[in-house]
A and B are shown apart, each in its own frame.
Chain A
Amino acid sequence: MPPQAWLTVMPWAGPLALVTIWEIAARLGLIPPHLLPAPTTVLGTAIGLAVEGTLLTDLLVSLSRAAIGFFIGGSVGFALGTAVGFSRLAEAVLDRSIQMLRSIPFVASLPLVIVWFGVAEAEKIFVVSLAVMFPIYINTTLGIRQVDPKLLELGRVSGLDTAETIRRIVLPGALPSILTGIRYALAVAWLALVVAETVGASSGIGFLALDAREFLRTDVIIVTIVIYAVIGVLADGIARWLERRLLAWHPNYAGGRRK
Chain B
Amino acid sequence: MTVQTAVLPKLAVNVVGLSKAFGERVVLKNLRMRIARGEFVALLGESGCGKTTLLRALAGLEPVDGGHIEAPRLPAIVFQEPRLLPWEPLWRNVSLGLPAPDARDRAVAALTEVGLTGRFDDWPLKLSGGQAHRVALARALVKEPELLLLDEPFAAVDALTRIKMHVLVKTLVARHRPGVLLVTHDVDEAIVLADRILIMSGGVIDRDYLVADYPERRVLRRLLLADLGVLLTDEA
Which residues of A sit under 8 angstroms from B152, Cβ to Cβ?
A: none
Are A150 and B83 in contact, CB atoms less than 8 angstroms apart? yes
**Complex partner residue of A175 from B59, B85, B87, CB under 8 angstroms:** B87
Alpha-carbon gap, A228 to B60, bound state (A): 57
Are A256 and B126 in contact, CB atoms less than 8 angstroms apart? yes
Are B74 and A150 in contact, CB atoms less than 8 angstroms apart? no
Write the nearest CB–CB distance from A246 to chain B, whole angstroms.
9
Are B96 and A251 in contact, CB atoms less than 8 angstroms apart? no
The answer to whether B209 has its CB under 8 Å from any CB of chain A is no
Interface size range on A against B: 20 to 34
Are A172 and B87 in contact, CB atoms less than 8 angstroms apart? yes
Identify which of residues 168-191 in chain A touch chain B, using a CB-to-CB cut-off of 8 Å: 168-169, 172-173, 175
Are A157 and B86 in contact, CB atoms less than 8 angstroms apart? no
Are B86 and A249 in contact, CB atoms less than 8 angstroms apart? yes
Write the nearest CB–CB distance from B47 to chain A, whole angstroms.
20
The answer to whether A154 has its CB under 8 Å from any CB of chain B is yes
Are A150 and B96 in contact, CB atoms less than 8 angstroms apart? no
- Residue in chain A with minimal CB distance to B73: A159
Are A258 and B81 in contact, CB atoms less than 8 angstroms apart? no
Are B125 and A250 in contact, CB atoms less than 8 angstroms apart? yes
The 4 nearest A-B residue pairs measured at CB: A158-B97, A172-B87, A249-B123, A159-B97
Alpha-carbon gap, A168 to B96, bound state (A): 9
Write the nearest CB–CB distance from A130 to chain B, whole angstroms.
32
Interface size range on B against A: 20 to 34
Identify which of residues 3-43 in chain A touch chain B, using a CB-to-CB cut-off of 8 Å: none
Write the nearest CB–CB distance from A251 to chain B, whole angstroms.
5
**Complex partner residue of B96 from A160, A248, A249, CB under 8 angstroms:** A160
The answer to whether A88 has its CB under 8 Å from any CB of chain B is no
Alpha-carbon gap, A247 to B96, bound state (A): 20
Write the nearest CB–CB distance from A239 to chain B, whole angstroms.
18
Which residues of A sit under 8 angstroms from B85, Cβ to Cβ?
A: 151, 154, 168-169, 172
Are B79 and A150 in contact, CB atoms less than 8 angstroms apart? yes
The answer to whether B61 has its CB under 8 Å from any CB of chain A is yes
Interface residue SS majority, chain A = helix
Are A156 and B86 in contact, CB atoms less than 8 angstroms apart? no
B interface, CB within 8 angstroms of A: 59-61, 74-75, 77, 79, 81, 83, 85-88, 96-97, 121-126
Which residues of A sit under 8 angstroms from B121, Cβ to Cβ?
A: 258
**Complex partner residue of A256 from B59, B61, B88, B123, CB under 8 angstroms:** B123
Which residues of B sit under 8 angstroms from A251, Cβ to Cβ?
A: 125-126
Which residues of B sit under 8 angstroms from A159, Cβ to Cβ?
A: 74, 97
Are B125 and A157 in contact, CB atoms less than 8 angstroms apart? no
Which residues of A sit under 8 angstroms from B59, Cβ to Cβ?
A: 157
Write the nearest CB–CB distance from B58 to chain A, whole angstroms.
11
Write the nearest CB–CB distance from B124 to chain A, whole angstroms.
8
Alpha-carbon gap, A249 to B89, bound state (A): 8
The answer to whether A153 has its CB under 8 Å from any CB of chain B is yes
Which residues of A sit under 8 angstroms from B122, Cβ to Cβ?
A: 258-259
Alpha-carbon gap, A98 to B73, bound state (A): 43
**Inter-chain pairs besides A151-B83, A155-B96, 10 sampled, C-beta below 8 Å:** A153-B61, A156-B61, A158-B74, A159-B74, A168-B88, A172-B87, A172-B88, A249-B125, A250-B86, A256-B126
Write the nearest CB–CB distance from A242 to chain B, whole angstroms.
14
Alpha-carbon gap, A200 to B236, bound state (A): 88
13 contacts between A and B (CB under 8 A): A150-B79, A154-B96, A156-B61, A157-B75, A158-B96, A159-B97, A160-B96, A169-B85, A248-B123, A249-B87, A249-B88, A250-B87, A250-B125
- Residue in chain B with minimal CB distance to A258: B123
Write the nearest CB–CB distance from A253 to chain B, whole angstroms.
11
